[in-house]
Chain A
Amino acid sequence: MKRTSFWKRRLFCISAFCIFALAFPAFLTAQTAPQQGTIIRMRMTDCLGPQHAFMAVMAGGAKGETAELCPEYVLVGDKVVYVISGKSSEQLIPLAEITRFRLQKNEMLIRIEDAPKESHFHIKAMTLRPDWEHSQILEEAAANAMISQHLDPAAMRSQR
């Protein structure tokens, strides 16, 4: 009885190791595999601090103390929509139709034409694409409603 239990435990350990050994490279590949997307929005916003930018944003504070503005982009990938931020005001991405990128250690790496190495961007937010599209529809509807509200009384007054 004891011997059976020993073998069962051993078998479990071996299977767990195999699963880990097989899954780990896949996980790594997912982290570093090149992907592509389209940048659809861009604005200048307060720069994040040099360290732990993702954690700072998640914690809802700790903005950079400097008045410098950094570019922030919304990049739409196949399945995920990323909000990324440059680390300085000069860190601009060419706004081509397709941007190629890969993920590494909570950062997005983008190779810019003629640049010797990839540029590192903070990832400020990630949303699944269907969720993001849904929120965009809601936002657009709210904006349209506000515009109608704003314009209608004027139109009514002018008609009177």
Chain B
Amino acid sequence: MATSLPGRRPRSLLGLLLLLFCSGATTGWAGDPADFTFRAKVTEVRISFSATDQNNHGVATLQASDFAVVDKDVIIRNFQSFTRSDWTKFEIAILADASESVTPRFRQEMAELLELVSQTAGVPDAGVPDENLSIFTFHGVEPVLLCAGDCRTSHAAEQLPAAGARGLTPLYDSILFAANFLSRHGDANAGKVLIVFSDGSDTISRNSLDDAVETSLRTGVQLYCIDQNNPRDSSPGAAVLRALASATGGRYFPPNQTSPALQVILEGFRASYTVSYRMPSQALGFHTIRILPTHNLNLQFRSRSGYFYPY
């Protein structure tokens, strides 16, 4: 979500000027210029989302009349702007679970990871230059950054854990770490993608699932979760991975369906749009967002699950 000043509202502008005057006067008296606090009402919400049809293919010809936004229960059909998001750059990080919980599938996980890394090099117009791919692994108490940005040229395979999976599972802490890394690293206008190879279990994190989601939302990072559970078993971890992907506008890939992951991710970004609208209510807290079709119920929309107000 992005915010902007309501330049067309004289009353708000007047209030802002008054506040600035008061703040200036007060700090002038106190003699401490570092005490400024600027406050302004924000009224615009900007959301990026992707659209797919019933065959899971990106929809490239979406119109503003094809969807409505549900913001904290209120349905919005009149938008201030609607454009195609021209994502030309991506900042990708891969987070690989190397903890004890994935031991049975660890070798397969590493093989899938390497395949994904090789795909980023082979996809024409992928928008993933050599310096925009980072890899983390996690086991024990904290994540380890294997390579920052230069993973293809630095031969990531040689740095992947060879000894096998071991230790506890700090999944949520690692997501926070990687999301914060992505938000600071690279171009601010790049699409931030975090691909998580995990079974969804967490055994030692100081942060919770909600913290992981909140940080991903605040940093604008989309999570794409590749399930490392045994396909024959039903695991509660799968629900965690689904929740992470769904809340951040990413996607969940079931076990053994990794191969088209990168194509799907990039296709989703190519068929993505940005819509902005006036905030329907200034209710404090988290505003949940859903994007739903106005005519064709076969259309599926993916976006972040909401935004915080005040931001």
Q: Do A and B come from one complex?
A: yes
A141 at the interface (CB under 8 A from B): no
Assess whether B19 is in contact with A155, with CB atoms less than 8 Å apart. yes
A39 at the interface (CB under 8 A from B): yes
Of B22, B73, B77, B284, the residue contacting A95 (CB under 8 A) is B77
B282 at the interface (CB under 8 A from A): yes
Assess whether A95 is in contact with B26, with CB atoms less than 8 Å apart. no
- B69-88 vs A, CB cutoff 8 Å, 1 = contact: the mask equals 01001110100000000000
Q: Please, which residues of chain A bring their CB within 8 A of the CB of B26? A: 159-160
Assess whether B292 is in contact with A41, with CB atoms less than 8 Å apart. no
Instruction: Report the number of A-B residue pairs with Cβ-Cβ less than 8 Å.
Output: 60
Q: Please, which residues of chain B bring their CB within 8 A of the CB of A155? A: 19, 39
Of B37, B67, B70, B283, the residue contacting A147 (CB under 8 A) is B283
Among B266-310, those with CB < 8 Å from A are 281-284, 290, 292-297
Of A39, A143, A159, the residue contacting B23 (CB under 8 A) is A159
Q: Please, which residues of chain B bring their CB within 8 A of the CB of A113? A: 295-297
Assess whether A94 is in contact with B37, with CB atoms less than 8 Å apart. no
Assess whether A42 is in contact with B73, with CB atoms less than 8 Å apart. yes
Q: Please, which residues of chain A bring their CB within 8 A of the CB of B68? A: 95
Assess whether A97 is in contact with B297, with CB atoms less than 8 Å apart. no
Number of residues in A with C-beta < 8 Å to the partner? 25
Of B70, B74, B297, the residue contacting A94 (CB under 8 A) is B297
Number of residues in B with C-beta < 8 Å to the partner? 24
DSSP majority for the A interface?
A: mixed
Among A87-111, those with CB < 8 Å from B are 92, 94-97
Q: How far is the CB of B283 from chain A (nearest CB, A)?
A: 6
A56 at the interface (CB under 8 A from B): no
Q: How far is the CB of A148 from chain B (nearest CB, A)?
A: 10
Among A101-160, those with CB < 8 Å from B are 112-114, 140, 143-144, 146-147, 150-151, 154-155, 158-160
Indicate whether A158 sits within 8 Å of B295 (C-beta atoms), given known contacts A39-B75, A42-B75, A95-B68: no
- B3-40 vs A, CB cutoff 8 Å, 1 = contact: the mask equals 00000000000000001001100100000000001010
| Bound-complex Cα distance A41 to B77 (A) | 11
Of A39, A42, A96, A160, the residue contacting B295 (CB under 8 A) is A96
Assess whether A96 is in contact with B284, with CB atoms less than 8 Å apart. no
Q: Please, which residues of chain A bring their CB within 8 A of the CB of B22? A: 159
A40 at the interface (CB under 8 A from B): yes
- A43-80 vs B, CB cutoff 8 Å, 1 = contact: the mask equals 10000000000000000000000000000000000000
- Nearest A residue to B310 via CB reads A151
Of A95, A144, A147, the residue contacting B75 (CB under 8 A) is A95
Assess whether A143 is in contact with B283, with CB atoms less than 8 Å apart. yes
Q: How far is the CB of A119 from chain B (nearest CB, A)?
A: 11
In addition to A94-B293, A96-B294, 14 A-B residue pairs with Cβ atoms within 8 Å of each other are: A92-B292, A92-B297, A94-B296, A95-B68, A95-B77, A97-B294, A113-B295, A113-B296, A114-B297, A143-B283, A144-B282, A146-B284, A147-B283, A159-B26
A-B CB proximity, top 7 nearest? A158-B37, A95-B68, A96-B294, A43-B73, A41-B73, A42-B70, A95-B294
